[in-house]
Amino acid sequence: MLPEYRISRRSLLLALPALRLAGLAIAPFGRGSVSVAQTPTTFSTDVKVVNVLATVRNKKGEIVSNLTQDDFTLAEDGHSQMIRYFSRETDLPLTLGLLVDTSMSQRRVLSEERDASHQFFQDVLREDKDQAFLIHFDREVELLQDLTPSRKKLEDSLNLLQINQRDDYDDRGQSGGQYPQGGQYPQGGQYPQGGGYPGGGGGRYPTGQRRGGGTKLYDAILLASEELMAKQKGRKAIVVLTDGRDRGSKVSQGQAVEAALRADTIVYSIYFADEESAFNNGGGFGGGGLGGYGRRRGGPGGYPQQSGPDGKKVLQQISAQTGGGFFEASKKQTVASIYGRIQEELRNQYSLGYTSDQADSGTYRKISVTVKPKGLIVQARDGYYADSRGSQARP
């Protein structure tokens, strides 16, 4: 039997995909409407196009933004594909999600992450074109700010970020959440008062029962992808700030990556570990794991089951497979400087579109993007799921 854990009313909607994957049931309820900014891009139902966003850098790590369509080659499952649509995406609207680890392992670094995130939203978000949301995750996943073009709302939500002091080491059976309860999600429509998750009981656990996990990284990525990003069009990216160590997610790393791929969402990872923290020096952590990717739906090969996977390697894998970048914060490379690099990438992407010569089957398709000029490095997603392709026309 899966362990019970508490989830806030505002995050209940986000938990539905995890419930489905875990085989749990929940009674239907009303949900608030999400206000979504419309992009100027038009879409047609008569043309099916696989879209791939790519970033190109030289050996010095500098962005290369002057390539043409003829400079690129593209293959699907080893079969060369004709690039039918090509553009340099420097001005298209962007949907951005920020996922912040608020478990105890981040207690010494959260202040720096919060300050840098304030400036990142100021720099990257164009209120007339872009929108963003904020999620925090520890032993629960909570949407602090739904999709909005407002920098003010995002900055206010960043101020709510705080470390869950009890993390997953609370044996007292208390609910322990520090975030405001009873808030509306997302545009009105409160969820019913009381009731633990999933077993009721006013949000409390039986006395003496330890909570199941304290850093639900994989759940956060999956929920952001399925419940927020999948509904959007155009360019989509998630930025995750964490030490990469998952404890207690109901889904695996592979399921989280699959959800991002199906939502056409790039995941950027910022590895920020407090080396002095006891939470990052020894000690086991369960849940999630690396297994499962590819075995369930024919993905790009499963990873071996491990006890305590390396957080850095986990984040590198997630970012590489979805086409995002991996960055490690340090004294020399601050979170603020990393945000600058991510912003530069987001404003200098190439969009490649092709029509697959294979029939839709729901299987995973491997994508390879290369460039003809020597010495250049291409960053793009590894593949896609055939039944998740949008029917899209050239912008």
Domains of the chain: 50-90+349-388 (no CATH), 94-164+210-346 (3.40.50.410)
DSSP secondary structure of 163-232: --TTTT---S------SPSS---SSS-PPPS---TTT-STT---TTPPPS-SB-HHHHHHHHHHHTGGG-
- CA 221/CA 319 separation, integer angstroms: 12
- CA 130/CA 150 separation, integer angstroms: 9
DSSP secondary structure of 295-355: TTT--S-PPPP-SS--HHHHHHHHHHHHT--EEE--SSS-HHHHHHHHHHHHTSEEEEEE-
Cα-to-chain-centroid distance, residue 104: 21
User: For the chain, how far is it from start to end, CA to CA, in angstroms?
Assistant: 48
* Residue in the structure block whose two tokens are 């956060």: 220
- The pLDDT of residue 216: 95
Q: CA-CA distances (angstroms) from residue 300 to 34, 39, 73?
A: 34, 32, 21
- CA 306/CA 286 separation, integer angstroms: 9
- Residue-level pLDDT, tens digit, the chain, 395 residues: 434 334 444 554 445 444 444 443 333 323 333 333 333 444 344 457 899 999 999 999 999 999 999 999 999 999 999 999 999 876 778 999 999 999 888 888 888 888 899 999 999 999 889 999 999 999 999 999 999 999 999 999 999 988 876 654 443 333 334 443 333 333 333 333 333 223 222 232 232 333 444 789 999 999 999 999 999 988 999 999 999 999 999 999 999 999 999 999 999 999 987 655 544 444 433 333 333 333 333 444 443 333 457 899 999 999 999 999 999 998 889 999 999 999 999 989 999 999 987 766 678 999 999 999 999 999 999 999 887 544 443 33
Amino acid at 197: Y
Question: Whole-model pTM?
Answer: 0.72
Q: CA-CA distances (angstroms) from residue 206 to 24, 226, 321, 332?
A: 20, 31, 40, 47
C-beta of residue 393 within 8 angstroms of C-beta of residue 47 = yes
DSSP secondary structure of 352-385: EEE--SS---S-EEEEEEEESSTT-EEEE-SEEE
